[in-house]
Every structure is written in structure tokens, then in C-alpha cells.
Structure 1
Amino acid sequence: MNGWLLAAGITAFGVAAVHIAGGHRDVVRPLLSSGLADEPRRVMHAVWHMVTADLVLSAAALVYLALADGTSGTGLVAWFVAAHFLAYAAVFLAVTLSAGWPRPLLRLPQWILLLPVALLTAAGTA
């Protein structure tokens, strides 16, 4: 068993739970009750659900990889998941830093949840 990947998977499940609970309250409900046109509103709603599925499936993959340590292809898939979470964190940092907000790193703190999954996963592949 690979402890780093297990820690990454458990952390990723936590990220998914925060996304589901916090995102529904802070993002989905306001989005659905906004004055945004119906098509873009529904597309954004679908994208939120796609990210939910992505986070849950990635977490499950990490737990599986942790338990299947040493199986052919484990390292490649783990690097893919690490890059995936690193890209998510980078996108949140880029969007946050380009907004011109005071104390921007705390306005959209999702990167703080996503980056540890990338780092734990990378540690598990080394």
C-alpha cells in the first residue's frame, strides 16, 4: 500500500465534500437564483456537477492506486491526477490574482485545498 497516495485520496474526498457542501450553498444556489440568462446559467450548473464528478472519481482513483501500489501503470495515472489537481490549483490562483482584489489569496481559497492533493500524489509517485 502506498501511504502517500492513500493520504492524497482521503484528502481528495475531503475536497469533494467541501465542494459539494460549500459549493452548493455559496455557488450553485446564488447562480440558479441569479438574473443570468437561462442557457449560460444551466451550463454553469452542469459544469459544477461535472467538477463534482471529477473530484469524486479522482479521489476514488487515488485510493485505488494506493491499494494497487506497484501495479503496471499506477505511476502514470498518479502523475496524471497530480497534474490535474495542480492545474486546478493554478487556475484558481491565476483567476484570483488577476481580479485585483485586496488579499486575493483568501478570496478564492480553493487552491489551498487542491494543492495538497497534487503534492501528496506527487510524493506518492516518487
Structure 2
Amino acid sequence: MNGMLIAAGVTAAAVSAIHLTAGHVDTVRPLLASALAQVPKRTMHAVWHLVSADLVLAAAALIFLGLAQPEGTQLVGLLIGVYFAAYSGVFLVITLTFDGWTRLFRLPQWLLLLPISVLALLGSV
């Protein structure tokens, strides 16, 4: 059993739940109610659902890897850790475009995604 990968998976599952609940209220509803043209609006709606699927599947994969530890666990854990680091980095860079001292918390997703990356990477060494 790999506790770090299980912790990464449980954290990813919690982030998935936050994404599906708070994200629907704070992001999806305003997006769908906006005057944005239908094609970009529906594209962004689809992207939101793709991220939802990605978060849920990553959580399941990390928990499975942590429990079963099949061959290739380290490589898959490493890849998942790297892509969560990339997700966190993208949100952090975009967050830094805000003005003011509170800018790091305007888009806090990077704070939620970073622990998944760290735990997955630690579980893969």
C-alpha cells in the first residue's frame, strides 16, 4: 500500500467534489447566463465537464495505484503528479495577472491542485 498515492487520490476526490459543487455555482451558471456567443459558451461548458471527468478519473487512478500497486505505478503516479503541477502552474500564472495583494487568492484553484501534485510525486519516488 502507498499512503502518499492514496492521500493524493483522496485529495483529488475532495477537489473533484469542490469543482462539481462550487464550480457549478461560481463558474458554470454565470457562463451559461452570459451574453457570450453560443459556440464559445458551449465549448467552455464542455471544457468544464472535461475537467470534471479528468479530476474524478485521476482521483480513482491514484487511489487504485495506492492500494493495488500494479506494475507501472511509479510512472503513472509521476505522470499524474506532473500534470497536476502543470494545472497548478497555469492557475498560478493566470492568478498573478490580477492586481492587488489578494491576487493569489482570486483564483485559488492552484492551492487545491498543488497538494495533489506534491503527494503524487512523493508517492512515486
TM-score, normalised to structure 1's length? 0.96
Q: Structure 1 residues 13, 43: CA separation in 2 closer, same or farther (over 3 Å shift)?
A: same
**Separation (CA, whole Å) in 1 of partners of 2:29 and 2:104:** 24
Instruction: Show the counterpart of 1:123.
Output: 122
Counterpart of 1:23 in structure 2 is 23
- Aligned-residue offset at 1:118: 0.3
Moved over 3 A (4+): 99-102
1:1-27 CA distance string (max 9 Å, x none): 101100100000000000000100000
User: Which residue of structure 1 aligns with residue 66 of structure 2?
Assistant: 66
Task: Output the CA distance in 1 between the equivalents of 2:52 and 2:2.
Answer: 25
What 5-or-longer segments of structure 2 have no aligned partner? Answer: none
Q: Which amino acid aligns with 1:97?
A: L
Distance 2:82 2:47 in 1: 20
Superposed counterparts of 1:88-103, under 5 Å: 88-103=87-102
Give the aligned length. Answer: 125
- In the other structure, the counterpart of 2:106 is 107
In 1, Cα distance between the equivalents of 2:61 and 2:79?
Answer: 11
Give per-residue Cα distances to partners, 1:16-71, cap 9 Å, x unaligned.
Answer: 000000100000000000000011000000000000000000000000100122x3
Write the distance in 2 (CA, Å) between the matches of 1:36 and 1:113.
28
Partner of 1:46: 46
Task: Give me the TM-score of the superposition, normalised by structure 2.
Answer: 0.97
Letter in 1 for 2:83: H
